[in-house]
Structure 1
Amino acid sequence: MRRLCAWCMGDLGDGPDPGESDRPITHGICEPCSLKVLGNTGIPMREFLGSLGVPTLLVTEDVVVERANPAASDMVGKSLDGITGKRGGEVFECENAALPGGCGQTPLCSACTVRRTVTETYQTGDSQVCVPVTLTVDTEGTPGEISFLITTEKVGDRVLVQI
């Protein structure tokens, strides 16, 4: 799979094979673009995220949402302000986020695919492509499951999560 910078379209080389995906190209961000975006020397992060056509979150090492794009807001049915500063489990209404300690602090959280994938990308710098996720959620008292794919890319000391 070829990888391209989502902003400048520069070649990032070959990425991991996502298996049966029909997408021969995936996107990340090159170091010069990440410095412009995160260093406030060029394109503001809000504009960068807004230019991406898929739901995207910029998260900290502890999976706290620092920024999100409108597509992510639409996906979870919450305002951008309602996402920002929240942990991933709170954003997606994971049933474990309601337990004492909250998202990331329960014994069950060590098995969370989102948390493990973000942590791996943060620690190694290696992108993860089309990782399948299934979360048990509790939306307004109604339990259920949601499934989606995530792709992660390290950008400075943050991780971009595309859904």
Structure 2
Amino acid sequence: MKKACRSCGNSTQTPQVQNVTHGLCPACTEMILGNPDRLQSFLNKIEVPTLLMQSNPRLVVTANHGAQVLFGKSPAQVSGLRGGQVFECRHSFSEAGCGLDENCLNCTIKEAVIETLTTGVSQNEVQTVLPIKTPHGFEAYGVSIATERIGPSALLAIRSFTRI
């Protein structure tokens, strides 16, 4: 597998597989995750709305510009929230809360983030329907996401978010 760093462009080659991935090399991961300004700049270069999730507990660290526009929230407003709280999923408003409500047991977004954080394997085109709070009550939204691990964290890229 050939890995090309998104930040510096350096690559390494493992001969078994011919795929190419675009994560971050260890040096760039440390440099970016260790500096809030560099982290925000890195995230803002990602073209789709993206949240950075920490591993334990699974909370949002920050959001890129696209996610800020999509959800109408600043990085400070999403930091420390669970993903469903950022999306304003109906189940995040329950007494148990996002990720703990019985309806969250099989949440495909939660499962994708956990899989990526646990194994390092990126998840692509993970699709689900979420009940999202809107000014008109709760409405069904089709959501497609992808995940990628960077260091101890995971990127949650929102590929589509459409009312259905």
TM-score normalized with structure 1 length = 0.80
Q: CA deviation at 1:12?
A: 7.0
Is the contact made by 2:63 and 2:74 (CA closer than 8 Å) also made in structure 1? no
Percent of aligned pairs with the same amino acid: 36
Give the paired residue count.
Answer: 153
* 2:66 corresponds to which of 71, 80, 89: 71
Q: Who is 1:54 aligned against? A: 48
- Structure 2 CA distance for aligned equivalents of residues 55 and 158 of structure 1: 16
Cα displacement (A) at 1:80: 2.4
Aligned to 1:6: 6
Alignment of 1:56-135 (within 5 A): 56-61=50-55, 62-135=57-130
How far 1:131 sits from its partner (Å)?
1.5
Q: Distance in 1 between matches of 2:13 and 2:105?
A: 32
Is the partner of 1:75 in helix, strand or coil?
helix
Show CA shifts across 1:35-84 (max 9, x none).
Answer: 221234x9721111122222111112243110111111101122222212
Secondary structure of 1:132's partner? Answer: strand
Over residues 67-103 of structure 1, what are the superposed CA-to-partner deviations in whole Å (9 max), with x where a residue is unaligned? 1111111011222222121111111110100110211
**Secondary structure of the residue that 2:32 maps to in structure 1?**
helix
**DSSP 3-state at the match of 1:154:** strand
Does the 8 Å CA contact 1:50/1:70 hold for their aligned counterparts? yes
Larger RCO: 1 or 2 (CA < 8 Å, sep 6+): 1
The alignment's TM-score, normalised by the length of structure 2, stands at 0.79
Q: Which amino acid aligns with 1:46?
A: Q
Gaps of 5+ in 2: 15-19, 159-164
Asked if the contact 1:5/1:30 (under 8 Å) is kept, the reply is yes
For the structure 1 residues 53 and 13, does the alpha-carbon distance in structure 2 shift closer, same or farther, using more than 3 Å as the test? farther
8 Å Cα contact 2:62-2:76 kept in structure 1: no
Q: Distance between the aligned counterparts of 1:55 and 1:27, measured in 2? A: 17
Q: Alpha carbon RMSD of aligned pairs, Å?
A: 2.6
